[in-house]
Chains A and B, each alone.
Chain A
């Protein structure tokens, strides 16, 4: 699906506009897979948009393309358009991407351990992000502000800790603080709570919800978890095998799904979480 029902001529330029995005990845010495196929999506300033999909849907590759994090290899093929506030990023040089990632897009990933420097106190890591970002704040107080915003109330104390001293949920909040400290226009969260226990997940999602509100940043949330999308997003894109198969407001997607895959996904999720002992087995799942 390439048409974008949410952009009409009267709207200001959307914050993020992706059109006909295609990504081809190498799978061997001579083989390729079209991981993303003609994907279009829009995120407006202050909006919360979700991308939902299962393994192989292409959602993570899409997000990596949007953040400029695909491997720099001639074998990786990117086509289409990714515009951040009108600025075309496909084909943009490294400097342009670094500027985007430092100041305009904050990213929160699934596995904090891979993205936190184990040898640096977390407060310093937030500060690093703050200094490179868009804001003019420089002092320790600013650092504490973002830690608190991310849901860490004992900011002064936590700032002195090293990542290994913190629980999974707290490390995830540090990632949120780092992303917020840049004061980005857009926060991209890729499976931010998937690796966390259910009770912690709930709290971290609340921290994310409140901090995105407080800074009025746009949010692009990628997840396989329909419940997370239901709770945090205004609009949703459903991806399957590299394509967007359906998009709409959260209510539309949950209450009036159009595409067969969306309907199946909802049946599966609802069946797994309802009170009965029946289990709905999808034909999509016989793979």
Chain B
């Protein structure tokens, strides 16, 4: 049940002016993730990590290379295989306020997925919805089921998105900046939820983020991307013990520390303008 990218590349049209230039968004990237993995893809804006995620989800096609799931290329899948792929590989994205339809209560958000994939029917739908809400600790489930997105906090909305992703019992979840927009007091709770779900369901995660300190907390394996390429790949422990590339070292040094003395030195030590 491996989801793999083999030397994928993606270029978006011609250069449209601006400072970005005519670079490939993703340039020859290979990686794979399977159940039980907790793999991070770390990079800054423009690194290509989100484009890579979209290719792995089959939302856009690579210009070069291929994405395979269970050994079968996405571009060569039959309808049945694609359906199975969609159930097995789910995503949790960053912006909860954009990802949820403001006119649908939580119940509908989850029921929609259940009905679409024929997981349950009639009364069974309600049971499944409550089960999912309990799984992500949105209790009491009945209360949360009736709420609209604007009535939920950021952390609660993220739990709904996670519930939506796990309802289909996927093997792999691609999380793109899943906790970046959350308050500090809420982040840990969501990260713990993700870890627990992995333990209980045997999930694999591809965790895309620019936040290195968070990577240290939950992931096992790290890919560092820059300008469309993977510049470093190491286990989490190896990376944090001592990255082998200058860029990864720079990323580590850029993480702010919440301590007055250190933070002041950290700001003053910033390199001159880029």
Contact = CB atoms under 8 A, between A and B. Distances in A.
Interface of A: 54-56, 151-153, 164-169, 173, 197-203, 205-207, 209, 224-228, 230-232, 250-251, 254, 264-266, 268-273, 275, 277, 279-282, 284-287
A282 B188 contact: yes
A230 B189 contact: no
Given A199-B251, A280-B188, 11 more contacts: A173-B273, A199-B250, A227-B258, A227-B266, A230-B260, A230-B263, A265-B185, A272-B217, A273-B257, A279-B191, A285-B155
B258 A198 contact: no
Interface of B: 17-19, 44-45, 153-156, 183-189, 191-192, 210-214, 216-218, 240, 250-251, 254-260, 262-264, 266-268, 270-274
B188 A285 contact: yes
Contacts of A200: 44, 274
Of all A-B residue pairs in the complex, the 5 with the closest CB atoms, nearest first, are A231-B263, A227-B256, A230-B263, A285-B185, A198-B254
A61 B86 CA distance: 42
Contact of A287 (B155, B211, B214): B155
B216 A203 contact: no
Given A285-B186, A285-B189, A287-B153, A230 B264 contact: yes
Chain B contact surface mostly: helix
A199 B264 CA distance: 15
Nearest to A253: B260
Contacts of A268: 184-185, 187-188
A205 B184 CA distance: 20
B161 to A, nearest CB: 16
Nearest to B213: A273
Contacts of B217: 272, 277, 279
A42 B216 CA distance: 39
B270 A202 contact: yes
Nearest to B190: A285
Given A209-B268, A268-B188, A281-B192, A230 B212 contact: no
Contacts of B262: 230
A228 B256 contact: yes
